[in-house]
Chains A and B, each alone.
Chain A
Amino acid sequence: MTAIISIKGLEKTYADGFEALKGVDLDIHEGEILALLGPNGAGKTTLISTVCGLVTPSAGQISVGGHDIASEFRAARSLIGLVPQEITIEPFEKVINTVRFSRGLFGKRRDDAHIEKVLRSLSLWEKRNNRNQELSGGMKRRVLIAKALSHEPRVLFLDEPTAGVDVTLRREMWELVRQLRADGVIIILTTHYIEEAEEMADRIGVIDHGRLLLVEEKQKLLHQLGRKELLLELAEPLDEVPGSLAEYDLELSDDRLHLTYEFDAHAERTGMTRLMGAISEAGLSLKDLSTRQSSLEDVFLKLVQDGRATAEEGAE
């Protein structure tokens, strides 16, 4: 696959000494939706802002469509539309004028047909002659998207598109993103909602403390997430796992009252029936049992924790 955006060794240290990005490498491909997932302050917005020209990188290279963002900034930026996280919009201007203005800034001739198409697709056409300040929060956010789409970008950056947005609106936003992708727009969105990444993305990048901890196809990630655990609560404490149960790789808890069995939920044979037979043969009596599935959230938290542990070790 060809990379539309290529980021190599990107570092950013702000004037106050804060290291927001510590060597990020990332390729973004044609036709994909990439979700950058990370807690607040992870460096997501700095990463996006650097690609879009709002922040000067301290080190590293970025190219968009093969154009370096510093030496060929015009060609690079022409390909990009940016929807910022905060609702920042000129309050007193009419909707249609702000959207036209954005198109003009990108050096494109006025094209009323295109503006109409964009406004209609975002259900803003009826509101085109309203002042921005008269719109609801959700509509203002859509105006920001309309502005970003006004110059027909190939890549759209959505910085936390659904932060502080209610459930209905979030669904609408997801629908819109899918529709944009169908129109051939490459989408990079940042989020700290795991559900959103799971719902929207083709690939997921996990970022924390300025490092990209993982970039993986969502399907692969979900497959890794297919692991399930069976938790067995014993009636009597157990000193050690009986030898006859060795093949099941059971884990005995510290209180010696719980056994954990891990299995692949997607597999044809989970081995659960045989395990139950073996347990009864071994003479163990059970008080309770439950299963739990690891979620993207667990993987995410584990990655973030591991990442922090590694960073601390490195620092020591």
Chain B
Amino acid sequence: MNWQAIFSIYRYEMNRTFRTIAQSIVSPVLSTVLYFVVFGSAIGQRIDTVEGIDYGAFIVPGLVMLTLLQQSVTNASFGIYFPKFIGTIYELLSAPLSFIEIVIGYVGAAASKALMIAAIILITSTFFVDLQIAHPFWMLAFLVLTAVSFALLGFIIGIWAGNFEQLQLIPLLVITPLVFLGGAFYSVSMLPPGWQTVTQFNPVLYLISGFRWSFFGVADVPVGISIAAICVFLAICIAVIWAIFRTGWRIKP
């Protein structure tokens, strides 16, 4: 293992985060605070509690998940797409690096950054609501597993994308709607029965439900299924990346 190279990629990517701190950190935090004000305070005044939980607190796990998913996908996709776009990827390919090391460097940095922002949002939310975390270990596990698997997904998108439009396509058109429809701001039991069934097919539902369970001990779906779902997703992403690098798809003619 070329640890030095993994560390170099990781540090280089993290530097990029701090160099563009307004765009990388301030903006996601600000938009989450806005969600919080609109949903938590404005709408929250009309909805007292959901499943016995104060509405303001109820939406916190959903908000954290929303940001975590968006951030890990966009950071990782941009991280690998940018060298492809400007051509500096030649350097990664001609270095004594295995693909595993490239993935660890980029995905590790993207996941770290997403986790940092998630932590900031979580801390910020404690200024607005009373938060108790029932299962801290599982909360952390959900955060890390989600950040890593969606950073892997982002990496795949970055390799696949041929232009900036494609790069944004999946985060905007797939991830964000799935999070909104995955019970970020409501409990699935509040939906009409037909929609409850449809929602079962939304993979993000399992993430948000499991993550919320780690805070409040209540979930829309059994937590075991949530954990299994995220593990399956992680395995699929790893398999796809392995296949990409075996064939050199879109990277190496």
Contact B7 A54 (CB under 8 A): no
- Chain A residues near B87: list those with CB within 8 A: 84, 86, 88
CA distance A86 to B5 in the complex (A): 24
Residue B94 contacts which of A75, A82, A91, A93 (CB distance < 8 angstroms)?
A: A82
CA distance A74 to B98 in the complex (A): 8
A85 CB to nearest chain B CB (Å): 10
CA distance A77 to B96 in the complex (A): 5
Residue A56 contacts which of B86, B94, B95, B252 (CB distance < 8 angstroms)?
A: B252
CA distance A56 to B87 in the complex (A): 18
CA distance A74 to B2 in the complex (A): 9
- Chain A residues near B8: list those with CB within 8 A: 100-101, 103-105
Residue A105 contacts which of B82, B91, B252, B253 (CB distance < 8 angstroms)?
A: B91
- Indicate whether B93 reaches chain A with its CB closer than 8 angstroms: yes
- Indicate whether A302 reaches chain B with its CB closer than 8 angstroms: no
B150 CB to nearest chain A CB (Å): 25
- Chain A residues near B16: list those with CB within 8 A: 92-93
Contact A55 B253 (CB under 8 A): yes
Contact A54 B252 (CB under 8 A): yes
Contact B88 A55 (CB under 8 A): no
- Chain B residues near A74: list those with CB within 8 A: 2, 96
Contact A106 B252 (CB under 8 A): no
Contact B5 A104 (CB under 8 A): yes
- Chain A residues near B163: list those with CB within 8 A: none
- Chain B residues near A90: list those with CB within 8 A: 82-83, 86, 88
Contact A80 B91 (CB under 8 A): no
B108 CB to nearest chain A CB (Å): 14
* Cβ < 8 Å to B, chain A residues 42-98: 52-56, 73-78, 80, 82, 84, 86, 88-93, 97
Contact B88 A88 (CB under 8 A): yes
Which residue of the partner chain A has the closest CB to B82?
Answer: A90
A153 CB to nearest chain B CB (Å): 10
- Indicate whether B90 reaches chain A with its CB closer than 8 angstroms: yes
Known A-B contacts A73-B96, A88-B86, A97-B15; A108 and B252 likewise in contact (beta carbons under 8 Å): no
- Chain A residues near B9: list those with CB within 8 A: 104-105
Contact B96 A106 (CB under 8 A): yes
- Indicate whether A107 reaches chain B with its CB closer than 8 angstroms: yes
Known A-B contacts A82-B94, A147-B91; A107 and B248 likewise in contact (beta carbons under 8 Å): no
Known A-B contacts A88-B87, A88-B88, A91-B86; A104 and B4 likewise in contact (beta carbons under 8 Å): yes
- Indicate whether A102 reaches chain B with its CB closer than 8 angstroms: yes
- Chain A residues near B82: list those with CB within 8 A: 90
B196 CB to nearest chain A CB (Å): 47
Known A-B contacts A56-B252, A56-B253, A147-B91; A105 and B86 likewise in contact (beta carbons under 8 Å): no
CA distance A106 to B94 in the complex (A): 9
Contact B15 A54 (CB under 8 A): no
- Chain A residues near B94: list those with CB within 8 A: 52-54, 77, 80, 82
CA distance A92 to B82 in the complex (A): 12
- Chain A residues near B88: list those with CB within 8 A: 88-90
A33 CB to nearest chain B CB (Å): 20
- Indicate whether A266 reaches chain B with its CB closer than 8 angstroms: no
- Chain B residues near A86: list those with CB within 8 A: 87
- Indicate whether A109 reaches chain B with its CB closer than 8 angstroms: yes
Known A-B contacts A54-B252, A55-B252, A104-B5; A82 and B12 likewise in contact (beta carbons under 8 Å): no
- Indicate whether A14 reaches chain B with its CB closer than 8 angstroms: yes
CA distance A168 to B92 in the complex (A): 32
Contact A106 B5 (CB under 8 A): yes
Which residue of the partner chain B has the closest CB to A52?
Answer: B94
CA distance A42 to B164 in the complex (A): 32
CA distance A92 to B87 in the complex (A): 14
A119 CB to nearest chain B CB (Å): 17
CA distance A234 to B209 in the complex (A): 100
- A89-B88, A93-B12 given; name 5 further pairs at CB < 8 Å: A56-B253, A78-B96, A102-B91, A104-B4, A105-B97
Q: A residues bordering B, Cβ < 8 Å?
A: 14-15, 52-56, 73-78, 80, 82, 84, 86, 88-93, 97, 100-109, 147
The 5 closest A-B pairs by CB, nearest first: A104-B8, A88-B87, A74-B96, A105-B95, A77-B96
Sample 23 A-B pairs with CB under 8 A, ordered by A number: A53-B94, A54-B94, A56-B253, A74-B96, A82-B94, A88-B88, A88-B90, A93-B16, A93-B19, A101-B12, A102-B95, A103-B8, A104-B4, A104-B8, A104-B11, A104-B12, A105-B5, A105-B8, A106-B96, A107-B3, A107-B4, A108-B4, A109-B4
